[in-house]
Structure 1
């Protein structure tokens, strides 16, 4: 399957400090007519994989649109001269644009990825279950199932019917982060899978707010354990 992506990066006259959540808030407030930018239709939240996602990659505001989200970004990417993140306003003097047609889906090779932003993998139920597991092997197997579920959820929302078994392995560590002033568990590190994912697409929960952005490593490592593509353990995207 081919995904059409539009990646936008923004540069200012001074270093930009802010969060992906604040970046999302700027676009959602500025362009309220586009539901793709904020996932709301009137007062109702649209439960689907976000086709516009916001990231702060090394303090560079980055927005990626997928398919219809890419078409929206093409229309509005130049319709502002400044952005407001929190209490700070930044003049935009540079826009980086990348338009691509990228492969997405099952591959005959194992590909390695690194999380560029923390992976918010666990819902409340899985968070509690994770803490009951004893030892690294049990936790590693649990996270492999979560990763498989996240990939399946993303694929389903993008109308991709997975034709075979997903193989994956994870090499991640957990840490604390905050989401909407709530302490959450997130993961960083790498994973390996026979699934092609375009750079900067998010996996897991709250991907529109910057969590779970991945980047493929060019020097692939061998994958590990096999995860069943029928797994339902994954947290919703």
Structure 2
């Protein structure tokens, strides 16, 4: 299946110091009429894979719209000249735009990915289960199943019917991250799967706030 993506990158006159949630907050507040920008409809949370996602990649703000989210970004990307992140205001001097139709879904080939931002794999309940497991192999199998569930959930929200069995393996390490001023356990590293995912789309929880952005290892090697 092909999905449409609109990738927006922003550059200022000085280094931008801010977080993906702050970037999300700027767009959600400035363009509140677009529910896809903030995942709320009449103050109710929209429980689905976010079609607009916010990232900070190597200190550079990035916003990605998928399908309907791409159409929203196309309408608003040039409607501001500065952004406010935290207490800082940054003049935007350059907006990079990439509009693509990209393949998504199960394949015959195994593809390798790295997490460009930490993967938030576990909710509080799963976190307790994970730490209650006795060995590394049991934990690794739990993370494999979690990753498959993430890909199935993502597919369902994008109206993609997974036609076969998803096979994957993970190679990750635990690290601490911050979410809504709370310490959470996340994972860095990468994985491989018989599944095509466009670069920088998020996998797992809180992807609209920048978690779980993936990048193809093949694309990284090609760029070097």
In 1, the alpha carbon distance for the partners of 2:192 and 2:106 equals 13
3-state SS of paired residue (2:32): coil
Listed as ranges, the matches of 1:140-179 within 5 Å are 140-179=140-179
TM-score (norm 1): 0.91
In 2, the alpha carbon distance for the partners of 1:149 and 1:215 equals 19
Q: CA offsets per residue over residues 80-114 of structure 1, 9 Å max, x none?
A: 00000001000000011001000000011000000
TM-score (norm 2): 0.97
In the alignment, what sits opposite 1:215? 215
Listed as ranges, the matches of 1:28-43 within 5 Å are 28-43=28-43
Listed as ranges, the matches of 1:1-237 within 5 Å are 1-218=1-218
In 2, the alpha carbon distance for the partners of 1:205 and 1:5 equals 20
Q: CA offsets per residue over residues 24-57 of structure 1, 9 Å max, x none?
A: 0000000011011011111111111000000000
Unaligned runs of 5+ in 2: none
Aligned residues: 220
In 1, the alpha carbon distance for the partners of 2:40 and 2:175 equals 30
In 2, the alpha carbon distance for the partners of 1:219 and 1:33 equals 36
Cα drift, residue 135 of structure 1:
1.9
Cα drift, residue 219 of structure 1:
7.6
4+ residue runs over 6 A deviation = none
RMSD across aligned positions (CA): 1.0
In 2, the alpha carbon distance for the partners of 1:129 and 1:216 equals 30
In 1, the alpha carbon distance for the partners of 2:219 and 2:140 equals 23
